[in-house]
Amino acid sequence: MDQQYLKTGERIDQLYSRDVKIIQSNNVFSFSLDAVLLAHFANVPQKASSTIVDLCAGNGAVGLFMASHTPSHIYEVEIQDRLADMATRSVSLNRLDDQMTILNMDLAKVTSKIKKDSVAVVTCNPPYFANYENSKKNPNKYYAIARHELETTLTAVMKATSDLLKMNGKSYFVYRPDRLDDLFREMALHRLAPKRIRFVHPKANSEANMVLVEAIKDGKPNGVRIQKPIIVYNSENEYEKEVRGMLYGRED
């Protein structure tokens, strides 16, 4: 019965820990561990009257993964038509049409659809790489747009986040540690104060390759907490207990 939601070349994957099905395709950028980590890291509101916005939503993974943990309405903003269409069908597949809305649009124009200064939480898994002229990009446009700042920029993401959030609203990002200086600079320019940071390491003896950051709009300076790191794999290349829990809902 689920096959009715699929188009040619698509499949249905599942995040078992949250009982979510998601439409994916090898031809476009699929969700990966960073989406799972971001959804787990975000503290979502427990009021049906609150609003959550996920920017750079892709095929809707982060919003879908958060939905079971909040009664709030979730907007997913994605500029690429095909990914927005996949997200829309995944929402219907999971019977979440009353809770989730997909906006196929440029995030720079998002306040034309969602009232400014009205959102409790914004999440975003933005493109990690700046769009340098000589930087090598994937020939697949879906992968290139997801990874490089081709259709949006970090500045645009932070402006949209700040515009959407109400005072003391919270934002959550997953990003690259080597661009933390860019992230913090743009946060400061857009009234976002970092408050909680958690680094993600492939293995215990490896450098961090991802970082999770919580920020508050118009938050007081300082008071940043560095939480214990997430270690993805153990020495046997198996998921560590915490990550297994995020993926499968069990830690054994």
Task: Give 144's pLDDT tier (boundaries 50, 70, 90).
Answer: very low
Q: What mean pLDDT is predicted for residues 74-87? A: 96
The lowest-confidence range among 7-16, 186-195, 208-217 is: 7-16
Looking at the DSSP bridge assignments, the partners of residue 22 are 13
Q: Which residue is it, tokens 């019965």?
A: 1
**In CATH, which superfamily holds the domain spanning 2-248?**
Vaccinia Virus protein VP39 (3.40.50.150)
Residue 148 has pLDDT above 70, yes or no: no
pLDDT at 149: 52
Helices (H) and strands (E) in the chain, counts: 7, 11
pLDDT at 139: 56
Q: In the predicted model, what is the mean pLDDT of the chain?
A: 91
- Please name which of 34, 55, 88 lies closest in space to residue 247, comparing C-alpha atoms: 34
pLDDT at 251: 57
Looking at the DSSP bridge assignments, the partners of residue 87 are none
193 with 187: CB under 8 angstroms? yes
DSSP 91: H
Q: What mean pLDDT is predicted for residues 212-227? A: 96
Q: Considering only the C-alpha atoms of the chain, give the largest distance between any 2 of them, rounded to a whole number of Å.
A: 52
Residue 143 has pLDDT above 50, yes or no: no
Outline where the chain has alpha helix (H).
33-41, 61-67, 81-93, 141-147, 154-164, 180-189, 241-248
Antiparallel, parallel or unpaired: β 20-25 and 10-15? antiparallel
Q: 251 is written with which tokens?
A: 């830690």
pLDDT at 101: 98
Going by C-beta distance under 8 Å and a sequence separation of 6 or more, which residues neighbour residue 180?
Answer: 211
66 with 74: CB under 8 angstroms? yes
Domain coordinates in residue numbering, the chain: 2-248
pLDDT digits (tens, 9 = 90+) for 92-124: 999 999 999 999 999 999 999 999 999 999 999
pTM metric for this prediction: 0.92
Angstrom distance (rounded) from CA 88 to CA 52 = 16
198 with 229: CB under 8 angstroms? yes
pLDDT at 2: 82
The total number of residues written for the chain in this structure: 252
Residue 10: other Cβ atoms inside 10 A: 17
- DSSP string for residues in 170-191: EEEEEE-GGGHHHHHHHHHHTT
Angstrom distance (rounded) from CA 20 to CA 213 = 24
